[in-house]
Amino acid sequence: MEFHHVPVLAQQCMDALAVRPDGVYVDGTTGGGGHSSLIAQRLDERGRLVCIDRDDDALRAARGRLAGFACRIDFVKSNFTEIDAVLRDLGIPAVQGILLDLGVSSYQLDTPERGFSYKNDAPLDMRMDRTQKLTARDVVNGYSEQSLRELIGGYGEERYAGRIAAAIAARRKDRPIETTAELSEIVRAAMPAAARREKQHPAKRTFQAIRIEVNGELSAVQAALDRAVRCLSPGGRLAVISFHSLEDRIVKQTFAQLAKGCVCPKEFPVCVCGRKPQIRLIDKGGVTAGEQELLQNPRARSARLRTAEKI
């Protein structure tokens, strides 16, 4: 299957990164290489781009798409939480820009056998890194009913998490739940009739929640931001695109903390922690897609780009 993924907020990302032709940049979520190719176009033979992804298929597609650019390009299979180690191994002391375009790619969603989508029938998988042990099947069949309720309610922001978790727990008593179609049908049947008629597919939020859990998506963002900022040279930019409020909240709060520096309690008359601001925020509320982009790429609807500059 061809790797199809339209990069979101493409121009806004390039404005945010303000790519220098001789700079060193990291795409921490390379996917099909859409954003990477836009960065590579702006680099000359002195420039360098490090393309990270934890999905082998994504890196394979990106290698093809990124052949023939003037700059040096390194492809690294890794979690972006390891960005500091990746750069250390490549002998790169600091970089001028880092991009994180969070979540799954259209390719991952649209490839039935990856088991990400409620729209296809496939084994419950949902791993971005297919060498990882934990799969969606393990979560659905192995987590307690209470853990499922918490994760579907928390990561899926699903109102009917209790009913859905109970339905999963009841069904798997007979035999394990194996496929995306089975799970999708269990979720649909557990919801009240009115909710089933909503525009959004009834299983969308549950699938999102399980995917986030399988891939440790929120903990990865939390762990990566601090490290990414430390990898930047002064004036370097970190641009992060998130696709749902839980992710965006982590980005917003972490950026706010790093921009503030001091972590002393408010009642302290003077700072004793000695922490200094590490970043300055660009576009405080973040940037979202304009109407034109939304017409061409509905996936951009929930995307928000936040950018920080290292001080």
Task: List residues binding ligand SAM (CB under 6 A).
Answer: 5, 7, 29, 31-35, 52-55, 58, 79-80, 101, 103, 105, 128, 220
Q: How many residues does the chain have?
A: 311
Shortest Cβ distance from residue 223 to ligand SAM (Å)? 9
Shortest Cβ distance from residue 161 to ligand SAM (Å)? 24
Shortest Cβ distance from residue 1 to ligand SAM (Å)? 14
Shortest Cβ distance from residue 7 to ligand SAM (Å)? 3
CB-nearer residue toward ligand SAM: 282 or 303: 303
Question: Which of 215, 187, 212 is CA-nearest to residue 200?
Answer: 187
* 158's tokens: 């699903």
- 308 neighbors 280 (Cβ within 8 angstroms): yes
CB-nearer residue toward ligand SAM: 209 or 220: 220
Question: Which of 311, 310, 300 is CA-nearest to residue 12?
Answer: 300
Between CA 280 and CA 111 the distance in angstroms is: 39
Between CA 218 and CA 201 the distance in angstroms is: 23
CB-nearer residue toward ligand SAM: 54 or 171: 54
Shortest Cβ distance from residue 303 to ligand SAM (Å)? 9
CB-nearer residue toward ligand SAM: 75 or 80: 80
CB-nearer residue toward ligand SAM: 65 or 119: 65
Shortest Cβ distance from residue 149 to ligand SAM (Å)? 25
CB-nearer residue toward ligand SAM: 29 or 254: 29
* 189's tokens: 């049947």
CB-nearer residue toward ligand SAM: 102 or 148: 102
Shortest Cβ distance from residue 5 to ligand SAM (Å)? 4
